[in-house]
């Protein structure tokens, strides 16, 4: 078996330690003897349907985020990724990546920037910087991470949050929701990195990817996650 | 009157904190004195004929210390802010302690990325050195682009007679050349450029005013390289390991040239230079290398990786206090994979408030969890790491973990208090 991970704009959206998610996905496949390839998909690259089995999209700086927003639209990559998500291809997006995959982003003093429209959410710039450790309850049980954003994201009617905030701000600091889940795509504000300390979520993404690619349920071999779980528990006991 | 009162109060606080042994009084005096006289820095620094400012993410303390060393070796009387207290109150504290009786030839001020914009207009420096800009404590300083934009705005407001020296190999700093009305000079290392979090080979030739070439690394003993000044090729034997220390040296040396210090004297004086606490600290059982952000940590890994032997040990200490940054995501951007120790079976101790996050990072970079001991308490961690040690112990702490370690080593008689060091 083999999975190809598409690291969206890995050269531009890479300053919040989100590469730890790529490292975690890659290692958790290698430890199980499953072949893995990571392809960075950036401004000059094309994405073909069926080429990528799992997408990852991290957070970046404002200037880079603007570049990426226009490339997603002009290169047609946004449209292809949306179609792939509809087909069930799993995706994890964080912070800036999450915002760009929503319906739109409204900056302070200018017009709305259209998003890819995978998640039924929209984001508005705010003057509050929401920074700190975050702990949420979700369908993957507890998830821990670190958030650092000023954009406030609101779920539209029918949108399903990834989870509910126990500690921290989450989507907007007011409605207790954090992130969004649509089919097998997840968007959220959780850096940390997220997947190393939340191995259940990492394995869920991998199982979905294998299922879509090979057309049948694939049971992943059990790994020794003692260190992963302990790091999570300690974060929960300190911040939760 | 206000100024006198502020100075007296500051001196009193400094004296009592030293007396009570509650820290070297490196920031509290400035904090309170600035409340009494907000113009304290302007007034006191104006009495010093030459002031220089050093900023950047990594290397500020080592660079300041080098310039100070070069200047002192020429008989110049130097004042500078010590011990990493690089905020406004740290500067004020330093000035208060020596006012009004002492006279100085040169003031050397290291400022952190944010304090720079606040303090530079007050200091009105003759020379500013920009070392580099990397991702560091995003929860505190913000993103790289906004740091550089703020610096750019600040230097637009200062006199065009100010000399500006930038690291020409750091592409993020290039925009500073456009915003400033005066002259900007550049330093760099031939065939290197800084990309993202690390160094790589550059394609195009930069126009550098001060250029190092022919670098030969000598492991932990430092490196040898060459530099042409006034048409003369000089060979430098730098007793600090790692490419990043070549940049610190080069920044200090270029600043020294602009201050008209004799280049050969500077090179000679390197023989008796000792680095600042925690930045390559040599102990009788090993070394301490401060790691505080992805770029700095990666550079330390690059330096020590080729030197590790199977009997050596590593002690990492990751804290998430305010001064370290409360976000530990950065360890995933640091290139632990560089250490390539899978086949060496090194014993590793992970310590600090986020010891478990560290252990996890090590596991995902290829280390066997069986060889990793997790011990949050620094004192016990150090004990564990030294027990039965046959090789060298490399200690890699974040900032507050390093201070803690310093305390432990001081108590056991291995190190002096850091504020007693100059």
| DSSP-assigned states of every residue in A198-218 | -HHHHHHHHHHHHHHHHSS--
Quick check: helix, strand or coil at residue B284?
Answer: coil
The per-residue b/e assignment along B255-267, b for 16 or more CB within 10 angstroms, e otherwise, is bbbbbebebeebb
Tell me: the pLDDT tens digits for B397-422?
999 999 999 899 888 877 654 444 43
Is-contact A80 A44, C-beta < 8 A? no
The pLDDT assigned to B418 comes to 46
The pLDDT assigned to B18 comes to 63
Q: Where are the beta strands (DSSP E) in A96-224?
A: 104-106, 113-114, 121-124, 130-138, 141-149, 152-155, 163-167, 177-178, 180-182, 185-188
Q: Which of residues 203-222 of A touch B (CB under 8 A)?
A: none
The CATH superfamily of B2-272 is Mur-like, catalytic domain (3.40.1190.10)
The pLDDT assigned to B81 comes to 86
Tell me: the pLDDT tens digits for A110-146?
888 899 999 999 999 999 989 999 999 999 999 999 9
Is-contact A205 A90, C-beta < 8 A? yes
The answer to whether B196 contacts A14, with C-beta atoms less than 8 Å apart, is yes
The pLDDT assigned to B197 comes to 46
What are the tokens at B11?
Answer: 């001196």
Q: How far is B12 from chain A, CA to nearest CA, in Å?
A: 37
Length of chain B: 422
Question: Measured in Å, how far apart are chain B's first and last C-alpha atoms?
Answer: 32
Task: Give the pLDDT mean for A42-70.
Answer: 93
Task: Verify whether residue A188 is a known catalytic residue.
Answer: no
Q: Which residue of A has its CA nearest to B136?
A: A15
Task: Verify whether residue A127 is a known catalytic residue.
Answer: no
The answer to whether A191 contacts B327, with C-beta atoms less than 8 Å apart, is yes
Task: Give the pLDDT mean for A204-223.
Answer: 96
Pick from B138, B356, B364: which is nearest to A230 by CB? B356
Quick check: helix, strand or coil at residue B388?
Answer: coil
Peptide bond into A70 cis (omega under 30): no
Pick from B138, B196, B294: which is nearest to A148 by CB? B138
How would you write B304-336 as a 3-class SS string?
HHHHCCCCCEEEEECCCCCCCCCCCHHHHCCCH
Is the pLDDT reported for residue A186 higher than 60?
Answer: yes
Q: Where are the beta strands (DSSP E) in B168-263?
A: 184-189, 193-195, 198-200, 210-217, 223-229, 232-238
**Residues of B with Cβ-Cβ distance to A234 under 8 angstroms:** 356
Residue of B149, B364, B372 best to disrupt the A interface, most CBs of A under 10 A:
B364
Pick from B135, B139, B332: which is nearest to A131 by CB? B139
Task: Give the pLDDT mean for A204-221.
Answer: 96
d(CA A235, CA A227): 12
Q: pLDDT: is A64 or B226 the higher one?
A: B226
Cβ of A27 under 8 Å from any chain B Cβ?
yes
pLDDT along chain B (422 residues), means of 10: 74 68 64 80 90 94 94 93 72 79 89 91 95 85 87 94 94 89 92 56 68 90 92 93 92 96 94 76 88 90 89 95 91 91 79 96 93 96 95 95 91 62 40
A159 burial via Cβ count (<10 Å: 0-12, 13-18, 19+): middle
Pick from A23, A148, A230: which is nearest to B139 by CB? A148
Is-contact B222 B238, C-beta < 8 A? yes
Residue-range definition of the domain harbouring residue A210: 2-239
A221 burial via Cβ count (<10 Å: 0-12, 13-18, 19+): exposed
Is the pLDDT reported for residue A34 higher than 60?
Answer: yes
A111 burial via Cβ count (<10 Å: 0-12, 13-18, 19+): exposed
Residue of B141, B357, B365 best to disrupt the A interface, most CBs of A under 10 A:
B357
Q: Cα-atom radius of gyration of chain A, to the nearest Å? A: 17
ipTM of this complex: 0.96
Pairs across A and B, CB distance < 8 A: 76
CATH number for the segment(s) B279-420:
3.90.190.20
d(CA B70, CA B73): 5
Domain count, chain A: 1
The pLDDT assigned to B345 comes to 77
Q: Which residues contact B351 (CB under 8 A, 6 or more apart)?
A: B315, B316, B317, B318, B358, B374, B375, B376, B377, B378, B381, B382, B401
The pLDDT assigned to B195 comes to 52
Q: Which residue of A has its CA nearest to B330?
A: A17
The pLDDT assigned to B25 comes to 57
Q: Which residue of B has its CA nearest to A148?
A: B139
Q: Which residue of A has its CA nearest to B325?
A: A132
Q: Which of B223, B196, B190, B225 is nearest to B208 (CA)?
A: B190
The pLDDT assigned to B44 comes to 87
CATH number at residue A107: 3.40.50.880
Peptide bond into B119 cis (omega under 30): no
Q: Where are the beta strands (DSSP E) in B333-380?
A: 347-351, 372-374
Strand arrangement of the beta sheet that strand A163-167 belongs to: A141-149, A130-138, A163-167, A177-178
The pLDDT assigned to B416 comes to 55
Where does CATH 3.40.1190.10 sit in chain B?
A: 2-272
Confidence of residue A61 (pLDDT cuts 50, 70, 90): confident
The pLDDT assigned to B143 comes to 83
Where does CATH 3.90.190.20 sit in chain B?
A: 279-420
The pLDDT assigned to B204 comes to 56
The pLDDT assigned to B1 comes to 64
Quick check: helix, strand or coil at residue B277?
Answer: coil
DSSP B171: G
The pLDDT assigned to B178 comes to 87
């Amino acid at each position: 078996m083999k999975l190809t991970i598409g690291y969206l704009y890995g050269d531009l959206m890479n300053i919040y330690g989100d590469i730890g998610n790529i490292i975690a996905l890659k290692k958790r496949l290698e430890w199980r003897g499953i072949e893995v390839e990571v392809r960075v998909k950036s401004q000059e690259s094309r994405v073909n349907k069926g080429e990528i089995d799992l997408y990852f999209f991290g957070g970046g700086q404002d200037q880079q985020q603007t570049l990426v927003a226009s490339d997603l639209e002009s290169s047609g990559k946004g449209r292809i990724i949306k179609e792939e998500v509809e087909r069930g291809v799993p995706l994890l997006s964080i912070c800036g990546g999450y915002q760009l995959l929503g319906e739109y982003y409204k900056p302070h003093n200018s017009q709305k920037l259209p998003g890819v429209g995978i998640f039924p959410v929209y984001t508005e710039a705010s003057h509050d910087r929401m920074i700190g450790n975050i702990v949420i309850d979700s369908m993957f049980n507890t998830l821990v991470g670190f958030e650092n954003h000023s954009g406030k994201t609101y779920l539209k009617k029918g949108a399903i949050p990834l989870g509910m905030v126990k500690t921290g701000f989450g989507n907007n600091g007011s409605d207790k929701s954090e992130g969004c889940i649509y089919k097998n795509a997840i968007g959220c504000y959780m850096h940390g990195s997220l997947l190393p300390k939340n191995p259940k979520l990492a394995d869920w993404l991998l199982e979905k990817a294998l299922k879509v690619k090979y057309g049948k349920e694939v049971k992943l071999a059990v790994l020794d996650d003692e260190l992963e779980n302990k790091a999570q528990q300690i974060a929960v006991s300190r911040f939760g | 009157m206000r100024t006198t009162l502020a100075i007296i109060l500051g001196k009193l606080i400094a004296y009592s904190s030293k007396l009570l042994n509650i820290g070297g009084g490196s920031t509290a005096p400035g904090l309170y004195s600035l409340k009494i006289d907000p113009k304290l820095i302007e007034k006191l620094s104006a009495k010093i004929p030459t002031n220089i400012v050093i900023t950047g993410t990594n290397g500020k303390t080592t660079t300041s210390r080098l310039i100070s060393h070069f200047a002192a070796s020429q008989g110049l009387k130097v004042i500078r802010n010590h011990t990493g207290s690089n905020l406004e109150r740290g500067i004020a504290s330093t000035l208060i302690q020596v006012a009004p009786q002492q006279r100085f030839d040169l003031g050397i001020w290291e400022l952190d990325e944010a304090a720079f914009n606040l303090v530079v207009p007050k200091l009105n420096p003759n020379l500013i050195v920009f070392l580099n800009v990397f991702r560091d404590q995003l929860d505190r300083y913000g993103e790289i682009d906004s740091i550089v934009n703020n610096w750019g705005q600040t230097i637009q407001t200062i006199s065009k007679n100010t000399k500006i020296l930038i690291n020409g190999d750091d592409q993020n700093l290039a925009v500073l050349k456009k915003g400033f009305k005066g002259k900007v000079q550049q330093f760099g290392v031939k065939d290197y450029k800084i990309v993202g979090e690390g160094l790589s080979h550059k394609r195009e030739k930069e126009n550098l005013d001060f250029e190092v070439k022919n670098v030969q690394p000598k492991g932990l003993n430092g490196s040898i390289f060459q530099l042409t000044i006034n048409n003369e090729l000089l060979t430098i034997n730098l007793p600090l390991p790692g490419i990043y220390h070549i940049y610190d040296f080069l920044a200090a040396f270029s600043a020294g040239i602009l201050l008209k210090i004799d280049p050969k004297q500077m090179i000679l004086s390197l023989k008796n230079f000792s680095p600042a606490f925690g930045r390559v600290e040599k102990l009788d059982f090993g070394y301490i290398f401060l790691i505080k952000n992805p770029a700095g940590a990666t550079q330390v890994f690059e330096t020590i990786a080729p030197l590790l032997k199977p009997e050596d040990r590593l002690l990492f200490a990751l804290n998430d206090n305010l001064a370290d940054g409360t976000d530990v995501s950065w360890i995933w951007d640091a290139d632990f994979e560089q250490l390539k120790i899978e086949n060496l079976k090194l014993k590793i101790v992970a310590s600090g408030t986020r010891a478990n996050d560290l252990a996890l990072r090590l596991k995902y970079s290829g280390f066997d969890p069986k060889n990793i001991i997790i011990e949050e308490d620094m004192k016990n961690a150090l004990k564990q790491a030294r027990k039965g040690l046959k090789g060298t112990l490399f200690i890699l702490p974040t900032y507050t973990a390093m201070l803690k370690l310093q305390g432990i080593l001081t108590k056991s008689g291995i190190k002096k208090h850091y504020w007693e060091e100059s």
